[in-house]
Amino acid sequence: MIGLIIVLCLLAFYLKHLFNEAYDRQENFPPGPVRLPVYGGYWILLAKAFNDLGRATMRLAKEYNTKIVGLYLGPLPQVLVNDSELIKEVLIREEFDGRVDTVLGRARCYWKKLGIFFTDGFFWHTQRRFSLRYMRDFGFGRRCENLEDAIQHDVKEMIDMVKNGPKNDIEKKIVNGDLIYLPHFFDVPFINGMLHVFVNTTLPRDKYPMLWNLGKNSLIFQRSSNDLGGALVITPWLRNILPNYSGFNDLTSGTKALYDFYGDLIRNAMDTFDETHERHFIDMYIKKMKEEMKEKQRTTYSVEQLQMICTDYTFPAASATEMVLTMIIERMLIQPEIQEKVHEEIDRVVGRDRLPTLDDRDKMPYTEACLRECMRFDTLVPLGVPHRALSDTKLGGYTIAENTSVSVNLMNLNLDVKVWGDPQNFRPERYIANGKVQASLDKSLSFGAGRRLCAGETFARQGMFLVFAIFMQAFHVSTADGKPLKDRAKRIQGIITSIPEFWVRVSSRS
């Protein structure tokens, strides 16, 4: 009897502890769900929309009637910002420029804090500044005729693969008769474009299978952080008992493909390095690294960091840009009138006797607007990459403690009726005024803002326009089975939003 009483007392004490912890919140912390055992409010977030955390966040904000939701991911405070103006404020304020140090960031580079995406402070600032300064010499972040020529060449090769047939069984996995496999049909020009930036050369057609493998693994990485990615952050030991289900294996294997690929390129560059003749960006980085090592000063430069710089900048080029073009094609299969308008504009401005160039971009507002509307309509990164408060601060009247994780709900911004009027309609014309695309009409922040603005914005926008315009000049697209497409494919939520791979039929317009 005494033993039973003791057990009941201990149980009561434990339940009281759980109750107190569930409602224990930092002073003036934004309203939000209670802290449940182990995963805190993450349980509730998943319950709102298991496969769509952006929409789940919107529902929580509505439920608590707040612009900012505060919850705990296990013991970690997390703030979810849903208001359009506050989203912009977070992105431009330097005190929110930090990154959260998690298993997701470290596992991809052998448990070190490297790269550009998931680093902050002096290390991030130094590496980002150097990389952007010297990558620019090879076309990253500006107009570059050589890079534009390289992208055009690769798109022509892919078009030739369709018109004249694949040369081997590997190519048949991407092009089969008049069917093309999306999104990987678009891998080559974007990944080769990044190679042009890093090593001032590209891979020829017989090496395209290497690029398709990188594109495939990049997409595996992007999909690794699904709804259970948050569980892996809160309880990193899941990687040991559920490596597949938690996404850990996809996270590491997807990264390894690019990391090892660039490792080989860097080793070759170091073996043939000549400090009197800088051939490309990797040479410039090696020279800087050797200079700092020679002076025996504390340095942020290393071979591993160079590998992660190349890997980080390539991931979006090897997956996100292709996915945007794939979603545009899907939209044209649902709304055929969009394809008709794109074809009309290309024929009127460019014709059929030459390829579209970046000089045509200002004269083709509808084609450019399709890209912008696609990134708004399907928010590529619904909650962005989480920021970290670098100091105690205020946001929207609430107290945000140092090291709090802060996520901005870009999906809410992109679906805000007050901003767009009719956000549920896919309408590229919303960006066009006086016959031109007006950047001021694009409130989507697809590439972020502030010091954390996506460094690849110019590369992505220019590349997507070129590839899309050249592709649409060459082809008319339709469904593989010839039946009208009535609705969108189910979205796959990971680091980016993606859709399942699929075949689409193309017919030549020449």
Distance, CA of 451 to CA of 94 (rounded, Å): 7
| pLDDT score of 15 | 42
Radius of gyration over alpha carbons of the chain, in Å? 24
Q: Tell me the one-letter amino acid at 275.
A: E
First to last CA, the chain: 90
* Annotated binding residues for heme: 454
Closest-CA residue to 368 (of 455, 463, 266): 463
Helix, strand, coil percentages (3-state) for the chain, rounded to 5, are: 55, 10, 35
Distance, CA of 218 to CA of 321 (rounded, Å): 12
Phi and psi dihedrals of 406, rounded to 5? -125, 120
| pLDDT score of 4 | 53
Closest-CA residue to 472 (of 289, 350, 304): 350
- 259 and 306 Cβ atoms separated by less than 8 Å: no
As for how many domains the chain has, the answer is 1
Closest-CA residue to 416 (of 54, 63, 84, 53): 84
Torsion of CA 470, 471, 473, 479, to 10 degrees: -170
Residue 459 located in a structural domain: no
**Length of the chain (residues):** 510
Residue 454 located in a structural domain: no
Closest-CA residue to 283 (of 305, 268, 300): 268
Closest-CA residue to 321 (of 109, 496, 60, 122): 496
| pLDDT score of 20 | 43
CB neighbours (10 Å) of residue 451? 14
| pLDDT score of 229 | 61
What is the reported pTM?
0.92
Residue 7 located in a structural domain: no
Residues of the chain with pLDDT under 70: 1-24, 226-229
Judged on CB neighbours under 10 Å (0-12, 13-18, 19+), 265 is middle
* Annotated binding residues: 454
| pLDDT score of 17 | 41
| pLDDT score of 313 | 95
CB neighbours (10 Å) of residue 499? 17
Distance, CA of 415 to CA of 431 (rounded, Å): 15
Residue 43 located in a structural domain: no
Residue 73 located in a structural domain: no
DSSP structure string for 286-336: HHHHHHHHHTT---S--HHHHHHHHHHHHHIIIIIHHHHHHHHHHHHHH-H
Distance, CA of 423 to CA of 37 (rounded, Å): 38
Residue 38 located in a structural domain: no
CATH of the domain at 297: 1.10.630.10
| pLDDT score of 14 | 41
Determine the structural domain holding residue 239 and report its residue range: 114-350+466-508
Q: Tell me the one-letter amino acid at 44.
A: I
Q: How many CA atoms lie within 13 A of 49 on its CB side?
A: 13
Residue 75 located in a structural domain: no
Residue 58 located in a structural domain: no
| pLDDT score of 228 | 54
Question: Is the Cα dihedral 381, 384, 385, 386 positive or negative?
Answer: negative
